[in-house]
Amino acid sequence: MLKYLHPTNDTNSLRDFTFTDADAFVNYGKSRSINIHGHALVWHSGYQVPDFVKNWSSTGATSDQFLAMLDTHIITIVNHFKEKTNVVSWDVVNEALTDSNPSVFRTDSPFHIQSGNSSVYIEHAFKAARQASADVDLYYNDYNIEQNGAKMNALDAMLTDFQKRSVPLTGVGFQMHVCLNTPSLATIAAALKRVAAKRLKVKLSELGITIYKPSCDSFPTNKVSSFPQAAGLAQMKRYCEIITAYLDSIPAAQSGGSTVLGTTDANSSLDSAYASEFEGQILACPLLFDAQYKEKPLITGFADALSGRAFTNAP
């Protein structure tokens, strides 16, 4: 979002921000009484980061000036959408932890580097977002934390520290890019409960249950060229079980809801992420509609869980 809403910083004013496309999306939601979750105010991924952030220190500007700019960036964006009333939550910082063991803050993030090689930008971001809006929910969002391992341990430590120092983080988004068989439901539930125990909100923010993916189950020995019915039924069951585990693990008052990582398998980011391994085939198949935009069986599993019904094993 940074690159698209705040592409330049020549004047440090509203002229550096562009809201036209985002306004159209949010206004569309408002016209249909749909609330919006904003994603993401701070994300290190290269294609999301404008050149002025990457080149900050090379211009002679200081880390203190960078943090001041970051405050302006966040306050301006959150304040702009606060006026529309239907943007009710934000992913303030996205994917700031590594997958190493032990997990640590990403030192290769431009935000870490330009903040004086420090993770202080994370708390700066949350404080600025709260300054802009007293009511909006503020999330930290990441992947692989549902595995309840080293990354979850690092997140747990960050949350404990933030709560001790009254940094205004109010929720955690679990991206939940998972496989048909792993991680186990018990592992997922344990991770969800660790966050819930801190009285924070919990969101399934980018749910996508992958049929075939490197690191998933027995891939590549199970690689196929089309979507088999048996896999569709297994995916339906898995969706039902994960949504049920979420509802069972999170008190209603702390539920931030569930969203999926897109709509159709025709343009899933999980397929593009593993294009070389997939040899150009669409194999991840993680979403609600197939590559022909047809409804998949998993929608029944999703609906069963949300309705409190037992898994039906029928599309």
CA distances from 42 to 1, 78, 122, 143 (A): 8, 12, 8, 15
Contact, 231 vs 286, CB < 8 A?
A: no
Tell me the average confidence (pLDDT) per consecutive run of 10 residues in the chain, 315 residues long.
85 85 96 96 93 92 96 96 96 98 97 97 98 97 98 98 98 94 95 98 94 67 66 88 95 96 84 66 80 87 84 60
CATH class of 170-315: alpha beta
* pLDDT of 277: 65
Here the tokens at position 50 are 């404008």
| Cα–Cα distance measured from residue 304 to residue 237, given in angstroms and rounded to the nearest whole number | 10
Number of C-alpha atoms within 13 angstroms, CB side, residue 73?
A: 31
Here the tokens at position 54 are 């990457």
pTM of the model: 0.93
Q: What is the DSSP string of 67-90?
A: HHHHHHHHHHHHHHHHTTS-EEEE
State the Cα torsion 70-74-75-78 to the nearest 10°: 180
Report the Cα 192 to chain-centroid distance in Å.
15
Catalytic residue ranges: 95, 206
* pLDDT of 87: 97
Q: What is the CA radius of gyration of the chain?
A: 20
| Cα–Cα distance measured from residue 304 to residue 306, given in angstroms and rounded to the nearest whole number | 6
